[in-house]
Structure 1
């Protein structure tokens, strides 16, 4: 089931985007654009925060991955890859949103037949919904390092308490 999970999620996102494209034919681009701007801001924040998490928490693993020395990365490689997933999603969203602006201006000045307007609006809204769902996934995935870090801290604290309990009767000189 875990191998099929990304495929199922992508299928759901695509279906919702197609449905949004059908419903979005009546929504003017001017009403959609503020959502693109918010999406761009959110993606940039997630990109920056997760990039910082990776470089702060796993600097050696990141260095070994960048040098393509996977033997040195060890267990941390999987964690770094998991941390990079929201960065990848946010990068894709950022690239798409950055392209929407110039393409929309270009289409506005090139297309003279207004019969295409509902199709363009619907396509834009479908893209907006798809990108929003992708960024929502990236935002949810940012919770993983917080959960992982808190469980690692708890394990370290429990280990320290266990060591202290073992040696509490040993006299200090």
Structure 2
């Protein structure tokens, strides 16, 4: 009687062609992306030495302002390290934030500290983003244009505190 051959297990051939096609497309795409990434870099070279100081030293008799504005549910709170920050609390006016009162307090402080341009703004977590943006605009000055500053000139007198620092609470 003839003997049967043991059944051979069916072997599955791995089809590597799709993987090779993906690699064939992926390698040039990555090389092209790296070329664009290198072109997007801006090289910055710091000068090795400076013959004359580029800015005037601060007046040691003039205290730092340290102007801070906190936006809360109940209105604005203003604080300052170098001077009285106006009313201290600017409450809501008929259910809305009193931007005119904040602008008046900012103008008063700007007259006392004309060289100061920085304000620190803090908002409570439930304050809407548009209130934060409008506060930045009011503290900068509604008619402030910083195109002169981009060209290296000083901003005009209509600019109040045009360099905001946003702090988070907690």
What is the TM-score of this pair, normalised by structure 2?
0.22
Larger radius of gyration: 2
Q: Where is the strand percentage greater, Structure 1 or Structure 2?
A: 2
Higher relative contact order (CA 8 A, sep 6+): 1
